[in-house]
Amino acid sequence: MTDTPLTTPTSPTLHHEDTGGEGRPVVLIHGWPLSGASWKDTVPALTAAGLRVITYDRRGFGQSAPAPDGDYDYDTLTADLAGLIESLDLRDVSLVGFSMGGGEVARYVGNHGEERLRSIAFAAAIPPWLLKSDDNPDGGLPRAEAEKMQAGLRADREGFLDEFTTNFFSADGELKVTEDQRVEAAALAAQADLDAAVTCIASWLEDFSSDLAKVTVPTLVIHGDSDAIVPFEASGQRTHEQVAGSELVIIKDGPHGVNVSHTDEFNAALVRFLTA
């Protein structure tokens, strides 16, 4: 496995890991405020299925440097993803976006097309439009609540991440992972640049509806039915409805961090989809 910074036109210090091999490539895009390391329970299952797996740290997260210009909007973040794909010359590639990472998957199709793509997957992902407003009453996050999160993160980073990771892995008030797993996630989150983490919260509110309208490749939507961070009804269900022919997998009692809490079920669904 290679573990190196990757030079791309937009983010010259983007950290990535590549299992290599002759298998079809899959790029795993992590959620907020974690890093590519958050996929550690999924990478072995995909490589065992004969796939080449690439993970990377979004700019300002994990081992990737913050944005030199302070930009963390989805056009910019997706340009980083496109740069990675082009730098590695990935073709017939599948993109899997978890939570915030689902925005990059959708915007990649919207901005860069499907020429290099085989399939895409949205895992507990924020599309089609998370912002709850008069124009989008079915959204899951009011702007005032997002701004409250930003203020809370700046005021007490440790306390905020402690509460956030608890909600991240809880369903109906019950923690669905071990305390060690929760603490491990909080440690990954603590690596993120504070400005990057705060600014990205605003990016969650972008509208991906027009991006989803351009999707024609096979699409998987996988979501926990008890997601307290990105509610299924506001996101996964609507994405499934907007992408014709998409496959929907709902994981019973699944929290937001369903790839960790329900690893076997999550991995089995992903492997089945990616190897079909």
Q: Are 40 and 92 in contact (CB under 8 A)?
A: no
Catalytic residues: 99, 227, 256
pLDDT in tens, 27-45: 999 999 999 999 999 999 9
Quickly state the pLDDT bin for 258 (edges 50, 70, 90): very high
Domain-wise residue ranges, the chain: 2-274
C-alpha–C-alpha distance, residues 24 and 93, integer Å = 7
**pLDDT of 50 strictly over 90:** yes
- The architecture that CATH gives domain 2-274 is 3-Layer(aba) Sandwich (3.40)
DSSP annotation of 272: H
Single out the residue of 17, 26, 22 nearest to residue 46, CA to CA.
26
What residues pair up with 93 in beta bridges, in sequence order? Answer: 117
pLDDT in tens, 69-101: 889 999 999 999 999 999 999 999 999 999 999
pLDDT at res. 67: 87
Tokens of 255: 């929290």
pLDDT in tens, 114-135: 999 999 999 999 999 999 999 9
Tell me what the pLDDT averaged over the chain comes to.
96
Q: Are 124 and 223 in contact (CB under 8 A)?
A: yes
| Dihedral (Cα; 111, 117, 118, 121), 10-degree rounding | -50
Query: Measured in Å, how far apart are the chain's first and last C-alpha atoms?
Result: 25
